[in-house]
Amino acid sequence: MARVYASRLLIALLALIAAFLLTSLAYELVVTARWNPTLPGEGKSRWALLQYQNSRRDPGALLVAFEHFSQRLAYPATRSETILRGLFAGGATIALAAGIALFTVVMRKPTHHGNARFGNLMDAGRKGLLARHGLILGRLSGATIISDDPSHVLVVGPTRSGKGVSFVIPNGYNWRGSSVWFDPKRELFEAIGAHRQALGDKVFMFSPGERETHRFNPLDFIRRDAHMATDAAVVASFIVPEGTGSSEIWARTGRQLLTALIGYVIASPRYEGQRHLRAVSNLTATGVEFLRVLTNIRDDEQALLPSWVVQGLNQFIALEKETRNSAFFNLTAALNPWTNDLVAAATASTDFDIAQLRKDPMAIFIGCSVAQLDIFRPIIKILIQQIHDVLMTAMPGPDEPHQVLIVIDEFRQLGKMESLVSKLTINAGYGFRMVLILQDLAQLDELYGKATRQTTVSACQVKLFIRMNDLETSEYVSKMLGSTTIEVRTPIIRAGKGIFATRDKSVSYQERALRTAEELRQMPSDRAIVLVPNAPGFVIGKLRYFRDAPFKTIYRRFRDRRLKVPPLPAWEAQPLASLAEVKAKVARETIPAASHPPIDLVEPEVLPPIRHVVGRETAAEPAAPSPPALDGLGVIIEETPPPPEQEAQPFPKHPEENGADDIVELRPGRPTEAAKLPKVAKAEERTTEPSPSPQRLLALPIRPGARNVSISALIQANSGGALAEQLELLPDAMLADLTPEAREALDRAKQQMEAHGEAWVNTAPTPAPQA
């Protein structure tokens, strides 16, 4: 910016000097024209002033007119004439300047076909391209062009055109803040890694498939809230590739299944400490039929999983066999990289927190050899997409002062990243800038189509074209530079007079591109084109980090320093927790045994059936309708109301009144679900027979394999209405084994049923007596 101010100051100074010289010349001419020998000190001749000025051989001669004017203005005898001469000289200067301006306007070439031109240093200053910090683009008139615009940058240049030496590495030296670099050849890590560390950055190198790499687990950055399903679907979309034609439905089904499996690994307590993609891959290689694996997961862990995971498993289970097999084949092929122990170890844990990029300066290099890029492309795409999504979670806060630079070299090699490209138009204000580096614009057409390419290129406000070899890119730049109007003179020769004919010229104005596509392809190799909105295009000089200051000093200082990446720990498969251990742990964490003691169910004569609830000292009020009771199989048990003539009776005082606050509220489940009681601690074994009690619980089996239900519980749940249907299932052989106390309680239950109009009918077959 100082260079712009210096240029403006120089222009103003030159204008003042020109005005002074013109005014001096006009004054001397006026003195010559109004020469009067009668005035004191006028001189011997009309040209005396000019002759005196010409006789001096020093720069002071330029000030002769000013000295002459000031001396005669101070002398009273010549003051009036001097003032007149000064006015004439000033008027002549103004008239001359106006004439020059008018001549310029009149003689200006027409611009009705366009007036495009290349920008200069003044234009660069007005567009903020001379900032102190930002992205370095090149040099213009000796000044370094630096853009601090928060918008994204598009860099286009064929292979070996100097994108790295003129743009990537200089910005690696100069950028202040966090940065992410896609480094397919690992050249950037060696060139700028040590310098980034010297600047205070935490430097990481993630290179899947290599022994020396830092680790990154994509599942660590899936949010454990309502966004978990969406985040899991994003990860699955990068792992399972899109299909074409009839295979699209298989690919879509595979992505849906992978989303559910990722959610299962994240949510299941069995995978505590092993939530990574290798665990997801292992689910497809158990040696057991995959449909059976999914069915077991659904049946055994349904209560422990989110509903969307169970729904995803059910959807896949319900598919036809052919569709399931095709989707399963796509899924196993997509998860094949995680069968590699190096990849499994590199993605089992995370060494860097991408959520801290705006808080703590760090440099993350993503390396992968070109030969292995086809294998590890999904992993790299997941990392870049998750960095983008994490940064877009919220706007930068006051504790996040650092800008983040994301440089993706060879953007086409990553394949289609629709989610990232579609957000380029709206993510410029989230504290990060993206640099997409391509070899030509046709690469975007190949991946996304022409319409998306136009949107992507427009979203990148700053465009740097280092060199152009293809026709489409050069034509695009030619159109963006605009057109200008040129004068074309066509000779006209009169017919019939031969060489003596009068030669006339016809002048016309035509449109011409500022630079044609052919001229752009022939542009010198040390030049580049910069396009920014609302400004003319700029022709700039390319930098060389090993030759140009100040990068040359940094290069010489760090060219022999290399950072060492820690070796990857060997992969070791860990056993999963058993389902019994998981359920026991969940029961302990969810419902502590001490907080919910067993609930005593009183005998019928102590708590008779009621129609109205009456307090100790309050009038009877109608009770709110209670939810339908469920039996052990999830079937609603309808209640039979007592006879109308039965009067409501008050509650007797029993021990449960003081402990009413400890009773756990059981909410009714859906009709298709079995009601679940909270788990309680196992009761200690009693060494002596308990004394008979009118409130003792009687636990009798309803049928073989069913749960134990006490007679008292049946009476309370049914209010006597449907109890007969339950008791009819009790065979006489079981009734014969009852203790006297139990039979006495059962007799009381029979009497109460008969009081309500219910009859005791035992239709269960009686076993034949044994010999």
- CATH number, domain with residue 238: 1.10.8
State residue 408 phi and psi, 5-degree precision. Answer: -115, 95
205 alpha carbon, distance to own chain's centre: 21
pLDDT in the model for residue 717:
47
Three-class DSSP labels, 612-673: CECCCCCCCECCCCCCCEECCCCCEECCCCCCCCCCCCCCCCCHHHCCHHHCCCCCCCCCCC
Centre a 10 Å sphere on the Cβ of residue 677 and count the other Cβ atoms it contains. 11
Average pLDDT, the chain: 79
pLDDT in the model for residue 180:
97
Query: What average pLDDT does range 59-82 have in this prediction?
Result: 84
Give the angle 328-329-335 at the CA atoms, nearest 5°.
85
CA distance 334 to 261: 14
Is residue 600 domain-shared with residue 734, that is, in the same domain?
yes
What percent of the chain has pLDDT above 90? 46
Is residue 597 domain-shared with residue 736, that is, in the same domain?
yes
Q: Do β-strands 503-513 and 362-367 pair in parallel, antiparallel, or remain unpaired?
A: unpaired
Residue linked to tokens 């310029």: 104
CB 190 within 8 A of CB 561: no
pLDDT in the model for residue 694:
38
Q: Is 137 helix (H, G, I), strand (E, B) or coil?
A: strand
Secondary structure (DSSP) of 212-232: B-----GGGGS-SSTTHHHHH
Classify residue 425 by its DSSP letter: T
pLDDT digits (tens, 9 = 90+) for 648-699: 344 334 333 343 333 333 333 333 333 333 343 443 444 444 444 333 333 3
Query: What average pLDDT does range 742-770 have in this prediction?
Result: 58
Buried b (16+ CB within 10 A) or exposed e, 552-580: eebbeebeeeeeebeebeeeeeeebbeee
Q: Is the pLDDT of residue 748 over 90?
A: no
Centre a 10 Å sphere on the Cβ of residue 371 and count the other Cβ atoms it contains. 8
Q: Is the pLDDT of residue 432 over 80?
A: yes
Cα Rg, the chain, nearest whole Å: 46
The residue from 328, 349, 370 where one domain ends is: 349
Half-sphere exposure of 133 (CA within 13 A, CB side): 7
Is residue 736 domain-shared with residue 595, that is, in the same domain?
yes
Identify the band that residue 622 occupies on the pLDDT scale cut at 50, 70 and 90. Answer: very low
Number of domains in the chain: 3
Centre a 10 Å sphere on the Cβ of residue 201 and count the other Cβ atoms it contains. 22
pLDDT in the model for residue 709:
42
Would you say residue 715 lies in a domain?
A: yes
Give the angle 287-293-299 at the CA atoms, nearest 5°.
155
Torsion of CA 383, 385, 386, 390, to 10 degrees: 140
pLDDT digits (tens, 9 = 90+) for 703-742: 333 333 444 444 444 444 444 445 555 555 555 666 677 6
Would you say residue 618 lies in a domain?
A: yes
Tokens of 64: 């002769």
CA distance 11 to 34: 35
Q: Is the pLDDT of residue 332 over 70?
A: yes
Tokens of 269: 């307590």
Strand partners, 438: 156
CB 229 within 8 A of CB 271: no
The residue from 106, 122, 142 where one domain ends is: 106
pLDDT in the model for residue 604:
40
Residue linked to tokens 């200082």: 557
pLDDT in the model for residue 597:
46
Would you say residue 318 lies in a domain?
A: yes
State residue 182 phi and psi, 5-degree precision. Answer: -85, 110
Domain that holds residue 9: 2-106
Q: Is the pLDDT of residue 624 over 50?
A: no
Which is nearest to 406 in space by CA: 439, 446, 378, 364? 364
Check residue 423 and give left, alpha or beta (phi > 0: left; psi -120 to 50: alpha).
Answer: alpha
Would you say residue 407 lies in a domain?
A: no
* Mean pLDDT lowest among 365-369, 404-408, 683-687, 695-699: 695-699
Would you say residue 621 lies in a domain?
A: yes
pLDDT in the model for residue 606:
43
pLDDT in the model for residue 592:
52
Buried b (16+ CB within 10 A) or exposed e, 459-472: bbbbbbbbbbebee
pLDDT in the model for residue 285:
92
pLDDT digits (tens, 9 = 90+) for 193-241: 999 999 999 999 999 989 999 999 999 999 999 999 999 999 999 999 8
- In terms of Cβ atoms closer than 10 Å to its own Cβ (0-12, 13-18, 19+), residue 452 is middle
Secondary structure (DSSP) of 389-431: HHHTSS---TT----EEEEETTGGGG---HHHHTTTTT-TTSS
Check residue 409 and give left, alpha or beta (phi > 0: left; psi -120 to 50: alpha).
Answer: beta
* Mean pLDDT lowest among 71-75, 190-194, 227-231, 268-272: 71-75
Identify the band that residue 517 occupies on the pLDDT scale cut at 50, 70 and 90. Answer: very high
Which is nearest to 240 in space by CA: 230, 252, 227, 228? 252
Identify the band that residue 31 occupies on the pLDDT scale cut at 50, 70 and 90. Answer: confident
State residue 661 phi and psi, 5-degree precision. Answer: -70, -20
Would you say residue 487 lies in a domain?
A: no
94-103, 288-297, 725-734 — most confident range: 288-297
Residues present in the chain in total: 771
What percent of the chain has pLDDT above 70? 75
CA distance 720 to 750: 10
pLDDT digits (tens, 9 = 90+) for 125-138: 999 899 989 999 99
CA distance 623 to 610: 10
CA distance 189 to 366: 9
Tokens of 205: 């190198």
pLDDT digits (tens, 9 = 90+) for 486-510: 888 887 766 666 666 667 777 788 8
pLDDT digits (tens, 9 = 90+) for 240-251: 987 766 678 888
Centre a 10 Å sphere on the Cβ of residue 351 and count the other Cβ atoms it contains. 15
Query: What average pLDDT does range 287-298 have in this prediction?
Result: 93
pLDDT in the model for residue 623:
44
The residue from 349, 378, 398 where one domain ends is: 349
Tokens of 584: 């026991």
pLDDT in the model for residue 735:
58
pLDDT in the model for residue 506:
78
pLDDT in the model for residue 495:
65
pLDDT in the model for residue 77:
84
Identify the band that residue 518 occupies on the pLDDT scale cut at 50, 70 and 90. Answer: very high
CA distance 111 to 115: 5
Tokens of 317: 């289970």
Task: Please provide the distance, in angstroms rounded to a whole number, between the alpha carbons at the two ends of the chain.
Answer: 116
Query: What average pLDDT does range 631-638 have in this prediction?
Result: 38
Q: Is the pLDDT of residue 462 over 90?
A: yes
pLDDT in the model for residue 265:
96
Residue linked to tokens 């209670």: 626
Q: Is the pLDDT of residue 766 over 90?
A: no
Residue linked to tokens 């292995």: 372
Is residue 737 domain-shared with residue 597, that is, in the same domain?
yes
Torsion of CA 25, 28, 34, 40, to 10 degrees: 160
Helix (H) / strand (E) element for 484: namely: strand 483-493
* Mean pLDDT lowest among 7-11, 181-185, 260-264, 766-770: 766-770
Would you say residue 96 lies in a domain?
A: yes
pLDDT in the model for residue 501:
65
pLDDT digits (tens, 9 = 90+) for 549-602: 899 999 999 999 999 999 998 888 888 878 788 778 777 776 554 444 443 434
Three-class DSSP labels, 698-722: CEEECCCCCCEEEHHHHHHHHCCCC
Single pTM value for the model: 0.69
